[in-house]
Amino acid sequence: MNIKPVAGAIGAEVSNIDLRNPMTEDMKRNLRDLVNQHEVVFFRDQAITPAQQRELAALFGPLQSHPAYDTVPGFPEVMVLESTPERPSKIEVWHSDMTFRQHPPSITVLRGVETPSVGGDTLWASMTAAYDALSPGMQRYLDDLIAVHDFSQGFRESLLEDGGRERLADAVANNPPVRHPVIQTHPETGRRAIFVNALFTTHIEGISPLESAEVLRFLYKHCTLPEFTCRLRWAKDTVVIWDNRSTQHKPVNDFFPALRRLHRVVSEGDAPY
């Protein structure tokens, strides 16, 4: 494998590897080490099947499904993320995947199935780099705080659509609000990472609504400073693997009327601590 970092804080592009081939135990360890070190890794020209994508994600742990997304027929763990002019993506803010779960995903594996010729990039930001850049006083203030994450907040636009509340009734019922630490410890690297996001976090417990709103507003701005980020221009059969515990990401929806279709598989993580 050849490894080329793409930005100072986060991201690497990996070449000279074919993800369709079976991996040795050494290769599996190297892949996990790469994700731990760079937090998001990019692979070009990887024409993997849904079954192979599922197997790749399963290297990192048991797989999760999603209560609101369509999936590839016969592969309930392979979610279809599709944006069309008729059904554009509603998610446009920085976020970590599925933090409304008690056990959010540890790793996300995303593949470009159909991508626009221009636009539709995705950005990632390192939450470990963002935490390290906080002042010691702010780190101490945040370290013991707890935030609430809610499926209904992240999917509020879908819930407001005609029939949306009925369509997502089971998802809402099965995903009540959960509590996660504002700062979590990465279970493999031991690094501290900011763990709130604008899509699913509703508030911080134990402080006033005004203080909660202002602290979250600061963190959202701080976490996405350019020096903590990298950016990917998608192409067909690009595969991205990232650590959902220590990153946030943001899709750029600037490609309509073109179509973008991605396949996503996530592996289950530990409860954040």
Cite the active site residues. 95, 97, 249, 264
Cα dihedral 222, 226, 227, 233 sign: positive
Angstrom distance (rounded) from CA 122 to CA 233: 7
Angstrom distance (rounded) from CA 118 to CA 58: 32
Token couple for 44: 């070009």
Angstrom distance (rounded) from CA 81 to CA 219: 27
SS3 172: helix
CA proximity to 244, closest of 60, 1, 47, 44: 60
Which pairing describes strands 201-204 and 105-114: parallel, antiparallel, or unpaired?
Answer: unpaired
SS3 241: strand
Q: What is the maximum alpha-carbon separation in the chain?
A: 53
Q: How many CB atoms lie within 10 A of CB 104?
A: 25
Token couple for 222: 């701080």
